[in-house]
Amino acid sequence: MSDSLTEILPGQEALAEPTRPTSLRFASLFWLANLVVGLSNLAVYQVLMPAQIGLFAPSQKISLVAWIESVGALGAIVINPLFGAVSDRTTSRIGRRRFWIAIGTGLALLAFVLLANATNVPMVFVGAVVLNWTVNIVLSALTAVLPDQVPLSQRATVGAAVAQAPLVGGVIGLLVISLAPTFAGAYYILAGLCFLLVLVFLAFGLRHEIPLRRGTLPAWHVDFLGDLWSVFKLRDFDLVLVARIFVFMAYESTTIFTLYFLQDAVHYRPATQGVFIFQLVVVGCLIAASYLGGYLSDRMQRRKVFVIGGSSTMAVALLLLALFPTWGTVLFAAVILGLGFGCYVGVDLALVTQVLPEARNRGKDLGIMNWAIFIPLLLTPVFAGSTLGLFHTYFSFFLLAAFCAVIAALLIIPVKSVP
């Protein structure tokens, strides 16, 4: 096995804190498995699904896409802690996380097939929502693999790879879509890639996951909401969760109306090309900063300074966009935004795993932490639309986004359990 375990009571080996250094092979395969999130949800929701809806119902495309994304995000908020809790107590012989990664991937493949053969809006609606939900079953189990298998000494470095993998997967997915001749061809290629990546990870990366013995944990009781609520009584956990929500709201604000910002305020033509260049610069800098931040964090065994610094740097980028709406400033801000958000996500997951209350509930608690990804997906469009509708200026919009990043940095300062 890639990691040895601390000495604990017989039968509880699956809950132990990993101590042996994680191998490069495991880290690489873990990164590949996390590409699946971007290959499926990001690529499909950014291009394929909206294009299909536009083909079948052009006059209702905006409202239908909004409904699909909202239903998918609401489901993800429930699915992440629910299936995280279920995987925490799964006693399958193949392991807790392996079982649900396999189940979620199998169901996602069925959703891909439905979308590939969709001939009307209801089929696209059902296929896209089911794909979102099933990929989140995979995500809930994959996220829990980090504290299960990676020791604290490497958790930021490996966590950095995990955090930026979906973005890389999204870029790969967009490339696949651009090369595929048809909707069906794109869906089948994406499905094949997802299946292959998960299979390789389960067969060669996580093949030695220690199963949870029956009776090790108390039976999962029906009072799931009560169990869910108990975690919100932990001060550091709450501070980190709320800070994550504000950070992702700040970042989402830079992506949701980038096209319109370049058209209306920057007057860049063609704006679609500008969006691609902006995102390419952001993601490139994000990848570099996440690896460097994760490496330095593990060397120093400090988390807060990187998370606070990353959030604050994002605020600087957003202020530049608010004050100087020129193409040169947009490119400069893209560099700063990528470096800031990269530094943040490079250490964020390591910080998150260190404020979890109990090893036996890692999956459930990390599922709650994943709310920080989905709540902004619901709130940011409302926040953005109301701000632009009220003030009719991108200055106020980006100023409020910068304020969100500053709040996120301030919320991390009182966290006491992590240096």
Assigned domain for 88 exists:
yes
pLDDT band at 120 (very low <50, low <70, confident <90, very high): very high
List the domain range (segments joined by +) for residue 66. 13-215
- What does the pLDDT read at residue 9? 47
Contact status, residue 71 vs residue 129, Cβ threshold 8 Å: yes
Assigned domain for 223 exists:
no
Assigned domain for 328 exists:
yes
Q: Out of 10-19, 96-105, 233-242, pick the least confident.
A: 10-19
Other CB atoms within a 10 A radius of the CB of residue 374 amount to: 22
How many structural domains does the chain have? 2
Residue 119 has pLDDT above 70, yes or no: yes
Rounded to a whole number of angstroms, the distance between the first and last alpha carbons of the chain is 30
Residue 2 has pLDDT above 60, yes or no: no
207 & 253 share domain: no
- What does the pLDDT read at residue 42? 77
Alpha-carbon distance of 309 to 311, in angstroms, equals 6
264 & 208 share domain: no
- What does the pLDDT read at residue 6? 41
Q: Count CA atoms closer than 13 A to 85's CA, side-chain side.
A: 17
252 & 364 share domain: yes
48 & 121 share domain: yes
238 & 172 share domain: no
- What does the pLDDT read at residue 227? 59
182 & 242 share domain: no
Select, from the ranges 95-104, 176-185, 258-267, the one with the highest average predicted confidence (pLDDT).
Answer: 95-104
Assigned domain for 313 exists:
yes
Helix residue ranges, H only, 301-326: 304-323
Cβ neighbours for 153, distance < 8 A, ≥ 6 positions apart: 21, 298, 301
Look up residue 419 and give its amino acid.
P
Collapse the DSSP code of 18 into the 3-class scheme (helix H, G, I; strand E, B; otherwise coil) and give the result. strand
Among 316, 354, 358, 356, residue whose Cα is nearest residue 333: 316
Residue 198: give its domain's CATH number: 1.20.1250.20
Residue 339 has pLDDT above 90, yes or no: yes
Assigned domain for 253 exists:
yes
Q: Bigger pLDDT: 92 or 233?
A: 92
Assigned domain for 7 exists:
no
- What does the pLDDT read at residue 364? 87
- What does the pLDDT read at residue 4? 38
- What does the pLDDT read at residue 229? 59
- Write out pLDDT tens, residues 230-249: 666 678 999 999 999 999 99
For residue 122, with 0-12 CB atoms within 10 Å meaning exposed, 13-18 middle and 19 or more buried, which class applies? exposed
Collapse the DSSP code of 213 into the 3-class scheme (helix H, G, I; strand E, B; otherwise coil) and give the result. coil
165 & 50 share domain: yes
32 & 92 share domain: yes
- Evaluate the CA torsion angle 194, 136, 88, 142 in order and state its sign: positive
Assigned domain for 119 exists:
yes
- Write out pLDDT tens, residues 20-36: 899 999 999 999 999 99
Residues 353-359: what's their mean pLDDT? 88
209 & 292 share domain: no
346 & 298 share domain: yes
394 & 362 share domain: yes
